[in-house]
Amino acid sequence: MKNIYFIGINGIGMSGLAKIMKCKGFEVSGGDLSRNYVTEELESLGIKVYPEHRGENVVGMDLVVASSAIKPGNPELEKAKELGIKVIKRGELLALLMNKEKGIAVAGTHGKTTTSSMLASVLLGIDPTIVVGGILPEIKSNAQGGSSDIFVAEADESDNSFLFLNPTWSIITNIEADHLENHGSLENIKKSFMQFMDQSKKEILVCIDSKNVREVIKGRNNIITYSLKDKNADIYCDNIEIENGLTEYDVYIRNDFVGRFILSIPGEHNIQNSLPVIYLGKELNIPLEDMKKAIFTFKGAKRRYDVLYDKEIKIIDDYAHHPTEIRATIQGAETIEERKIVAIFQPHRYSRVKFLMNEFEGAFDKVDEVILLPIYSAGERNEFNVTLEDLSKKIHHKNIKIMENNEDVENRVLNEGLKKVFLFMGAGSISNIAHEIVNKLEERKDINENFKVI
């Protein structure tokens, strides 16, 4: 096998695997309908990225890898089947790579990108293979091929592709209702996580601050628990102090003091995310001071409280799109931001808005203003009869506005945004809007460069 083609190659998970396979000496190419921030890196590695899906693109391929977003009828997918080319899912390829190594799979409804990225940062000294769902600043990529037998990756529960994996260690950050268009119910999601745990070879690190996690671990004996507040957990923290944008806390493993750590990224959820990282760092013999330094300098993966601009106006780009993620991101912002916070939210998928509608109530209560953008469909049809007006009423914020076009958002930020923090949130195209506004801010000549940043 020599030639591999990725359908939907610009997706964050697909692009990571494409890079790994290129590093392993395969000829790699792929197609996608839109360019994004990973496309240039793929091309710099010699990977051909086609700007549209055409059947002739897969001619001569030995293997085709299809993103979970690719539906039947895709011309590349159908041509591959017609030619008898083997087609596998992204999760199957990840499993083929990880299951041969000492894999660490990070699963959970939220937090898996930050947790896996932080873990990768802590383990960089032993040169692991890395495939994560965000751009890791330390390697300026979402993937690297390592020389050791340690393999760090996210485990995607959205389409059950994590059930291809047999990791040595696994981490479960939380379990909640999401991707119900695939799973149907929370009970089905729990069953999937239970099967995932059955397939883990060694220890399973779980956050028992999640009620659903506590329910699925009953009766298991290879569980390592961690918690933000429960001192009966195997791993817990104490003496949390937040000052000048830094979070300091003590970490204990089985009641033994490990050390005092400092996080530079906000939010109690990120303390939670660090706890299994510290445990595995110790298991893999990472020196304590190296761990402390890596956690302190960790700035988060791209699109996880990603500060794009911080002068007279502050622009933050964040992937949060589930109500729980939104609350956590806003809680973190509250701890470090002193200026008024404006949340600009692009809902993601009609199905998610429909299934999680009630959970959006109160999610934005702690910001000063909410701007609601049209729902990003991600290829879905609005068969769920949901509207922005419905969502706006459910959010029920005292200062909420619906803005139907990007120009209105740009005008709001550029003309009325002085001394405010704009928190762009969503999993769709909203990041492009934030970056475009930053470009215009940097081009402006009427800004007082001496404005005091607070």
The 10 Å Cβ neighbour count of residue 449 is 6
Distance of CA 316 to the CA centre of its chain: 15
Task: Give CA–CA dist 57/42, Å, rounded.
Answer: 17
Task: Give CA–CA dist 117/209, Å, rounded.
Answer: 21
* Amino acid code (one letter) for 103: G
Backbone angles phi, psi at 160, to 5 degrees: 65, 15
The SS3 assignment for 266 reads coil
User: Residues, the chain, total?
Assistant: 454
Query: Which string of DSSP letters, residue by residue, matches 381-428?
Result: ---S---HHHHHHHH--TTEEE--SHHHHHHHHHHH-TTEEEEEE-SS
Annotated binding site for ATP, which residues?
Answer: 108-114
Annotated binding site, which residues?
Answer: 108-114
Q: Which residue out of 76, 101, 113, 292 is catalytically annotated? A: 113
Q: How big is the CA angle at 444 (ends 438 and 450), to the nearest 5 degrees?
A: 95
Backbone angles phi, psi at 310, to 5 degrees: -150, 80
Tell me whether residue 380 is one of the annotated catalytic residues.
no
Q: Report which of 305, 297, 269 is spatially closest to residue 134, judged by C-alpha positions.
A: 305
Q: Which residue out of 19, 79, 112, 314 is catalytically annotated? A: 112
Query: Which string of DSSP letters, residue by residue, matches 5-28?
Result: EEETTTSHHHHHHHHHHHHTT-EE
CA 154 → CA 113, 120, 177, 302, 431, distances in Å?
Answer: 7, 11, 18, 15, 22
Task: Give CA–CA dist 118/449, Å, rounded.
Answer: 34
Tell me whether residue 112 is one of the annotated catalytic residues.
yes
Tell me whether residue 24 is one of the annotated catalytic residues.
no
Asked if 103 contacts 151 with a C-beta cutoff of 8 angstroms, the reply is yes
Asked if 280 contacts 97 with a C-beta cutoff of 8 angstroms, the reply is no
Q: Which residue out of 154, 203, 325, 369 is catalytically annotated? A: 154
**Could you list the active site residues?**
112-113, 154
